[in-house]
Structure 1
Amino acid sequence: MREIIITSIKDEHILNQLNSCLEGKLTEEWGERILEFDNEIGKGTIRNIGFDWGVSLLDCNVTFHQNIKLIFRTTSVSPIEFIFISKGSFKYSEDDNEEYLDLEQYQNIIISPKRYAKKTFVFPKGRDLKVNFIRILRKDYLKKKNNNVTYLNELLLSVFNDEENSFPYTHGGSFSLKIEDQVKALDNVHDNGIIRSLSIEGRIYLILSLQLLEHHDFETNKSLPDALSRADIKKINTLSEYILDNISGHLSVEALAKESGLSPKKLQLGFKVLYSKTVNEYVRQLKLEISRDYLKNTDLSVSEIVYAIGIKSRSYFSKIFNDAYGILPTDYRKQLKSVGKIGIDR
């Protein structure tokens, strides 16, 4: 197993020390530092973006060719880390001992190791891994006006107020595809300059708020029902990709239940818990979002768009588009042409 030792909590130092071991290439643009590597150790991309008030993102999309043990050996107060795994899994130990915690795909994780502890992650070889670390330096964040940490539950508030890292904390919470959707949106920010920075920062705070909400629900026993297993969650995630790929097809609850191998009742439960929507509400929203993109980015007629998203009635499409966005699709396109692109909140 290859060991990588990190001796700093500062983002720029972490990436530099990772690069000295991974032997990749570091670039910087628009305030983002990106480490790319492809060699006998592994391949992938590690991205770091820092913001005000001690908030930063460390985004990893990697595959290692050998087992990697990443050890943080510092004397500084460690940040609180909000971790979400979109792909793969790995292990975590607060003090590099044999007691490892399994961190799994779609799981909401919060860690705050005790000061001087050797925070250790073990990444298995040959496994694709996509994971986000939202890191918060508590002293900096508490200086933020309207930080509102007093509204956190007592447990998490004590973690934020523990400025010396006197007490360790680990939360291995429920599984959420709602958070996964926002992580995908974060990865799909393709703007440049200030618009890109603001979009990424906004998405990070949205993901963070969802992780805090999951923590609250978990601690108040409002977490994932026992009727949904981890395998069920993965099936629903796969099904969401199927829906996107087959948006013009027959997407009834019965057809989707058959495709997923879940019962209609369990399928509805899964979408309600994970997306806060029924299956039909989820499909309808996705159709509307795709139609909006067609109106913006193609010359397809409204009738052609209606056909492409699998809606049989143009009048029905106009009605639900207007209900969702407060404007008819034909008027929306006219405004796009007259004043350039306009935004509609999802």
Structure 2
Amino acid sequence: MNKLEVQSLPLKEVIADIANGLKTNYRHDCGEYIVEIPAAWGEGSIKGINFDGGLGLLIYKCTFHTDMEISFTVNQTHPLKFLFCLEGNLLHHFEQDEQQHSLQRYQNIIVASKGHNGHVLHFKKDVFTEIYSLEIDRCKFKARISCELEKTKPNLRQIFEDEQASNSFYYNGLYSLVLGEIFDEMKSQNYDHLVKILYLESQSYRMLVQQLIQYDDDSDDNSETKILRKSEAHAIKEAVEIMKLELDSLNSLNSVAQRVGLSSKKFQSGFRHFFGKSANEYLQSLRLSLAQDLLINTNDSIQEIKDKVGFSSQSYFTELFKKMYHNTPSNYRKEHRKNRGNN
């Protein structure tokens, strides 16, 4: 395993230490510090940028040829870190604690070390890893929000108020769909220097806001989380593919929810979020759309079509088809074939 030592702050010096450990140079682009991974070590880049008020952003987009450990061992209070795993996976542990925390795709952690105890990140060999890390100097940041912090919920206040790092802090969750959309936006931006720096700062604050909303949601022990997670959005897409492939044999949407790892409540809320309808309504629309295509483009009987799209009752199939297309299946077929013949 290769190891890189980072013994400096702020992020300019962090990138400089990483570049030095990789035996290469870094470049400076209007407040953004970038080190390209040399081919001998792997590929990709690590970027860092500091904003006013104690907020900074590190972006890792890299693949290493061997297992790589990056140790942050500066002899002072370390930043509060919000890490989000977009691709690949990562292991984290505190410098003086060998217990490792795994960070998988779609997961995020909030982590703060005790005293001057550092952080160690372990990147796996030949795995493309994309990590966004918000870095917050709690002394500077708390000075900006001291009044608001006094009035906020205890579970949110505890994240920021320990600026002397008297205690360690660790939280692990699945980041929200909204956060996933923020990351997608950030990856697609191509602004020039003036807009770029302002854009990155605004997006960093959006990331922080959404993470705090999500943490508050996760901290509510009285009910299931309300915010749709990115991993849950991925599960909804899997469910749609299952529905399409198994239209003729699908008997229970609860079984589909179980197969993709969602509760019934999250399964239904996911479909309403993406499609504006319940999972059952979406399934019916898939079935009726396929029935429409089969009526026009095949010689299958109405009975055969009804079976192929998964309806057990002929009358129910006719009722739903008429409701959507304002005609019975047989008359729909006759009209469309007549129109086709006239053309």
Normalising by structure 1, report the TM-score: 0.67
Report whether the alignment pairs 1:203 with 2:189: no
The aligned counterpart of 1:342 is none
Report whether the alignment pairs 1:280 with 2:266: no
The aligned counterpart of 1:190 is 190
- Would you say the 8 A contact 1:134–1:204 is kept in 2? yes
- Would you say the 8 A contact 1:254–1:264 is kept in 2? no
SS at match of 1:53: coil
Residues 281 and 52 of structure 1: CA distance in aligned 2, closer, same or farther (over 3 Å): farther
Report whether the alignment pairs 1:79 with 2:79: yes
SS at match of 2:37: strand
The aligned counterpart of 1:10 is 10
Structure 2's unaligned 5+ residue stretches are 278-343
- Would you say the 8 A contact 2:84–2:175 is kept in 1? no
Cα distance in structure 1, aligned partners of 2:115 and 2:146:
27
The aligned counterpart of 2:40 is 40
SS at match of 1:52: coil
Q: Which has the larger radius of gyration?
A: 2
Displacement of 1:155: 3.4
Displacement of 1:218: 0.9
Structure 1's unaligned 5+ residue stretches are 241-252, 283-346
SS at match of 1:148: helix
Count of residues in Structure 1 that have an aligned counterpart in Structure 2:
265
Residues 120 and 96 of structure 1: CA distance in aligned 2, closer, same or farther (over 3 Å): farther
Displacement of 1:229: 11
SS at match of 1:5: strand
The aligned counterpart of 2:114 is 114
Cα distance in structure 2, aligned partners of 1:160 and 1:179:
21
Cα distance in structure 1, aligned partners of 2:11 and 2:122:
20
Q: AA paired with 2:168? A: P
- Would you say the 8 A contact 2:176–2:230 is kept in 1? no
Could you tell which deviates more after superposition, 26-35 or 160-169? 26-35
Displacement of 1:258: 2.9
Displacement of 1:257: 3.9
- Would you say the 8 A contact 1:77–1:115 is kept in 2? yes
The aligned counterpart of 1:248 is none
Residues 273 and 142 of structure 1: CA distance in aligned 2, closer, same or farther (over 3 Å): farther
Cα distance in structure 1, aligned partners of 2:144 and 2:30:
23
**Two-structure CA RMSD over aligned residues (Å):** 3.2
Cα distance in structure 2, aligned partners of 1:147 and 1:58:
28
Sequence identity (%): 22
Cα distance in structure 2, aligned partners of 1:180 and 1:146:
29
Cα distance in structure 2, aligned partners of 1:164 and 1:49:
23
| Matched ranges for 1:263-274 at <5 A | 266=257
Displacement of 1:115: 1.5
Residues 217 and 29 of structure 1: CA distance in aligned 2, closer, same or farther (over 3 Å): same
| Matched ranges for 1:57-72 at <5 A | 57-72=57-72
The aligned counterpart of 1:142 is 142
Residues 107 and 254 of structure 1: CA distance in aligned 2, closer, same or farther (over 3 Å): closer
Residues 229 and 28 of structure 1: CA distance in aligned 2, closer, same or farther (over 3 Å): closer
Displacement of 1:126: 1.0
